[in-house]
């Protein structure tokens, strides 16, 4: 019988994990959310997108995945039913501890891949990575620790114009809707509503949904499964290149 291929770190035995670390295996840490995504997409949108990309990249490159963390810092969609937002410090500490434990186990090539790309959420992840990197910088190691922090959106935005997605697309818009249609069409409920919210430029408000009544930023009616497949394939290809880059020294 062929040896089964494991994608998730916690499917390995302790001996296999030690071997994977000794082999310099790259680890992806997928981050998602439980967050409103309009009336047409599920709360798990960010989670299933980043996990799908991570799984496909692992199949392609032989990297491993540490179990996903499906929570984010949610601001604009905070008051919508179903949103479970965590505090900045909580996300920072979870990300810092998971990365620190990976490094302690000998996995010192890490990609944090998040499906949610809010600015405070990205900052918490980046500060956590910086904490680990600075600590490791003073330690004599054969291979220096390297960590990348990115969201699916970093690559989605690169292809958006070529695939003729509407300008100003964002949360639960045409890109996210297309991408979910391509992987979990059973979770898409209709076409969604077009909405281009206009949040106050400087004021921090307790009721952002006032400016964002349908919980969408963009035009999800322009979504298509075909474009979603192309977008997902592009992101997989780009993240796989990052894994290859981390395999080198």
Q: What is the distance between the alpha carbons of residues 107 and 19, in angstroms, rounded to a whole number?
A: 10
In the complex with Zn ion, which residue's Cβ is closer, 46 or 56? 46
In the complex with Zn ion, which residue's Cβ is closer, 61 or 114? 114
The minimum distance between CB 9 and Zn ion, in angstroms, equals 25
The minimum distance between CB 123 and Zn ion, in angstroms, equals 17
The minimum distance between CB 52 and Zn ion, in angstroms, equals 13
In the complex with Zn ion, which residue's Cβ is closer, 65 or 175? 175
Subset of 93-132 contacting Zn ion (CB under 5 A): none
In the complex with Zn ion, which residue's Cβ is closer, 107 or 165? 165
CB of 129 closer than 8 Å to CB of 95:
yes
Q: Which residue is nearest to Zn ion (CB)?
A: 46
SS3 percent helix, strand, coil of the chain, rounded to 5, is: 45, 10, 40
Residues contacting residue 241 through CB under 8 Å, at least 6 positions apart:
none
The minimum distance between CB 205 and Zn ion, in angstroms, equals 21
Under rule CB under 5 A, residue 36 binds Zn ion: no
Selection from 11, 54, 27, 13 nearest residue 108 by Cα? 27
The minimum distance between CB 167 and Zn ion, in angstroms, equals 18
Size of site (CB under 5 A) for Zn ion: 2
The minimum distance between CB 126 and Zn ion, in angstroms, equals 19
Residues contacting residue 120 through CB under 8 Å, at least 6 positions apart:
73, 75, 88
Subset of 182-241 contacting Zn ion (CB under 5 A): none
Subset of 37-66 contacting Zn ion (CB under 5 A): 45-46
In the complex with Zn ion, which residue's Cβ is closer, 55 or 133? 55
Q: What is the distance between the alpha carbons of residues 33 and 18, in angstroms, rounded to a whole number?
A: 30
Residues of this chain that interact with Zn ion (CB under 5 A) are 45-46
């Amino acid at each position: 019988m062929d040896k089964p291929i494991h994608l998730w770190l916690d499917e390995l035995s302790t001996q296999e994990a030690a071997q994977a670390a000794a082999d310099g295996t790259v680890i992806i840490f997928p981050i998602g959310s439980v967050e409103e995504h309009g009336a047409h997409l599920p709360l798990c949108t960010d989670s299933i997108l980043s996990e799908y990309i991570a799984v496909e990249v692992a199949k392609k490159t032989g990297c491993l995945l540490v179990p996903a963390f499906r929570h984010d810092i949610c601001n604009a969609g905070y008051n919508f039913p179903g949103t479970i937002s965590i505090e900045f410090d909580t996300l920072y500490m979870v990300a810092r501890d998971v990365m620190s434990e990976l490094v302690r186990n000998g996995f010192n090539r890490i990609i944090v891949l998040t499906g949610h790309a809010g600015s405070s959420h990205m900052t918490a992840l980046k500060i956590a990575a910086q904490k680990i990197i600075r600590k490791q910088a003073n330690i004599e190691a054969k291979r220096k620790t390297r960590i990348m922090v990115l969201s699916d959106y970093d690559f989605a935005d690169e292809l958006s114009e070529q695939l003729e997605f509407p300008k100003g697309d964002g949360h639960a818009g045409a890109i996210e809707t297309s991408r979910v249609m391509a992987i979990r069409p059973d979770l898409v409920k209709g076409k969604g509503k077009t909405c281009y919210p206009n949040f106050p430029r400087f004021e921090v408000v307790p009721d952002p949904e006032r400016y964002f009544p349908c919980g969408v930023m963009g035009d999800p009616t322009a979504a298509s499964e075909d474009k979603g497949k192309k977008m997902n394939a592009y992101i997989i290809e780009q993240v796989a290149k990052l894994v290859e880059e981390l395999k080198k020294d």
